[in-house]
Amino acid sequence: EDQVTQSPEALRLQEGESSSLNCSYTVSGLRGLFWYRQDPGKGPEFLFTLYSAGEEKEKERLKATLTKKESFLHITAPKPEDSATYLCAVRGDSNYQLIWGAGTKLIIKP
């Protein structure tokens, strides 16, 4: 069964304190791993797609990496505006629908 687990559930950091969020997955034939950001009261906003192990993508202070079992979202020198819930989803060969993790709530304190 395709499955996605995100950890930690919540993470509090001081401004400038770098860290990583984890997305562990089990999927038959990975077609893509997706990262989204969700602000309170809003819909998820697309950040990255990773397709194969070893791939990396960057956007501002965020960098996403992928292995055969997990993905990391690295946040370098975060700012308070990076506070949000970060969602991970995978798509496999069994069907083309996304399987979602429960998210990591990131709080950056000034």
CB of 30 to other proteins, least distance (A): 10
Give the binding site for other proteins (CB under 8 A). 4, 31-32, 34, 36, 41-46, 49, 51, 87, 89, 91, 93, 96-103
Residue type, 45: E
Distance CA 82, CA 5 (A): 21
Question: Under a CB-based contact definition with an 8 Å cutoff, are residues 86 and 62 in contact?
Answer: no
CB of 101 to other proteins, least distance (A): 5
Smaller CB separation from other proteins, 71 or 78? 71
Q: Which of the 8 DSSP states describes residue 81?
A: G
CB of 24 to other proteins, least distance (A): 13
Smaller CB separation from other proteins, 18 or 94? 94
Does residue 76 sit in helix, strand or coil?
A: coil
Smaller CB separation from other proteins, 3 or 20? 3
Of 23, 24, 8, 16, nearest to 61 (Cα)?
16
